[in-house]
Amino acid sequence: SSAEKGGYKHFMIKEIYEEPEAIESALVGRIKLEGPFLKEIEEFNLETINKIKVVACGTSYHAALVFKYFLEKHINIDVEVDVASEFRYRNVYIDDNTAVIAISQSGETADTLESVRVVKRKGAKVIAITNVVGSTITRESDATIYMNAGPEIGVAATKTYINQLVVLYLLGMSILKKRNVWSENLEKDLNFLKNSPDIFRKMFETIDLKELISYYKNFNHFMYIGRGINYPTALEGALKLKEISYINATAYPAGELKHGPIALLDPTFPVFAIAPKDSLYEKMKSNIEESKARKARIIAITTEGNKEISSIADDVIFVPESPEDMYPLVIAPIIQIFAYFVADMKGYDPDKPRNLAKSVTVE
Ligand code: AGP
């Protein structure tokens, strides 16, 4: 009923607008004066490990990729990320210096659970990140960090992706703090996390993509591109669009375009560029220019105040200036809102996309 949806047309859009409160819940008790604090991992010797394997599916896998880029930027630890349906069947090497993190919103995804069992048999310690209290994954792992997003009804993960990111940033920061790797930039990241609920609220007040979407909804293909920590943002943008609007969206690290996918581009194949003003911006800009040269329409997400982008992109969506590590967090709601309104305007029910279940409990 509409009452359950708090007056919103669908759970998905309600859940997107709940993101500020969801973040607040994820942060409660987890930032102390001394810095990030996750009591759940106090028992783990994260001071000595040099390898982390992260396993997940779908959106949770994209959150895992953000974690990899984040942590590897600040410390020399190998973070390996894999989709659970591959991980469970390959020979994964675990030693005393390896920690495993399994991410699953539902805590019931069959492949992710089986991956946990596989590494447990090899003696690994597993940290689960989940949203559902008492879910199977919490019982099979050595520790659980709850993402505290509240129930998510829409099949498309929205506020739980945001909270996965928040919890993974906190986890990464806790590891860095424990290992005495701390910097002014990390302090800024942490501050940004604290302020992000208000930043989201402000963004939600002003964002209006409807006109843009009523135009773009008519295309049959989209190419999402991003680089570095925002390559996963491109993957997540494409997944959201595919799963609820049934548009063929593909995502590439922007530097891969010229190794094949650029052949697809023409005026019927828009490029959705994730292009915040970060250290890879100039590289992104050339990739956007290359796409433009193939007459593809360009829709770009960039940082407020970036004026020059309007000369190469056909449409621009601005996000507030943020620390470079944090762009995946501020851009995520934009790609979610975009997918939501495309689906809604095409007359599809984004809460119940065809062929999909909220959690995939069978292989
Ligand atoms: C996300 O929008 C999808 N519905 C899907 O990819 C999901 O993230 C995936 O099935 C993993 O689910 P989990 O996090 O509950 O394990």
The set of protein residues with a Cβ atom below 6 angstroms from ligand 1 is 57-60, 104-106, 109, 112, 155-157, 243, 359-360
Closest CA to ligand 1's atom 2: 156
pLDDT at position 1 is 64
DSSP of 86-129: HHTTS-----TTEEEEEEESSS--HHHHHHHHHHHHTT-EEEEE
Centre a 10 Å sphere on the Cβ of residue 286 and count the other Cβ atoms it contains: 12
User: Which residue has the least CA distance to atom 16 on ligand 1?
Assistant: 104
Cα–Cα distance for residue pair 50/41, rounded to 1 Å: 16
pLDDT along the chain (363 residues), means of 10: 84 97 98 93 88 98 98 97 98 95 98 98 96 97 97 96 98 95 96 98 95 95 98 98 97 97 97 98 98 97 96 96 98 98 96 87 84
Ligand 1 mean position, distance from CA 128 (Å): 15
Could you give the CA distance from residue 208 to residue 177 in angstroms, rounded to a whole number?
A: 39
Pick from 40, 26, 36, 29: nearest CA to 141: 40
- Predicted ipTM? 0.99
125 given a catalytic annotation: no
Residue nearest to atom 7 of ligand 1 (CA): 58
Residue 363 pLDDT: 84
Residue 26 is which amino acid?
A
Atom of ligand 1 nearest to the CA of 56: 16
Q: For residue 49, how many other CB atoms are within 10 A of its CB?
A: 18
Residue 226 has a pLDDT of 98
Q: Give 32 Cα–ligand 1 centroid separation in angstroms.
A: 31
CB atoms within 10 A of CB 90: 9
pLDDT score of 85: 98
Ligand 1 midpoint to CA 334 (Å): 19
Closest protein CA for atom 9 of ligand 1: 58
Q: Which residue has the tokens 């329409």?
A: 297
Give counts: helices (H), strands (E), the chain: 12, 12
Residue 230 token pair: 């925002």
**Does an H or E element contain 82, and which?**
strand 78-83
Residue 207 and residue 331: Cα distance in Å, rounded?
12
Helix (H, G, I), strand (E, B) or coil at 169: helix
Q: How far is the CA of 110 from the centre of ligand 1 (A)?
A: 11
Distances (CA, A) of 281 to 309, 312, 327: 11, 13, 12
Please report the atom of ligand 1 found closest to the CA of residue 164. Answer: 14
User: Residue 83 carries which side chain, given as an amino acid letter?
Assistant: V
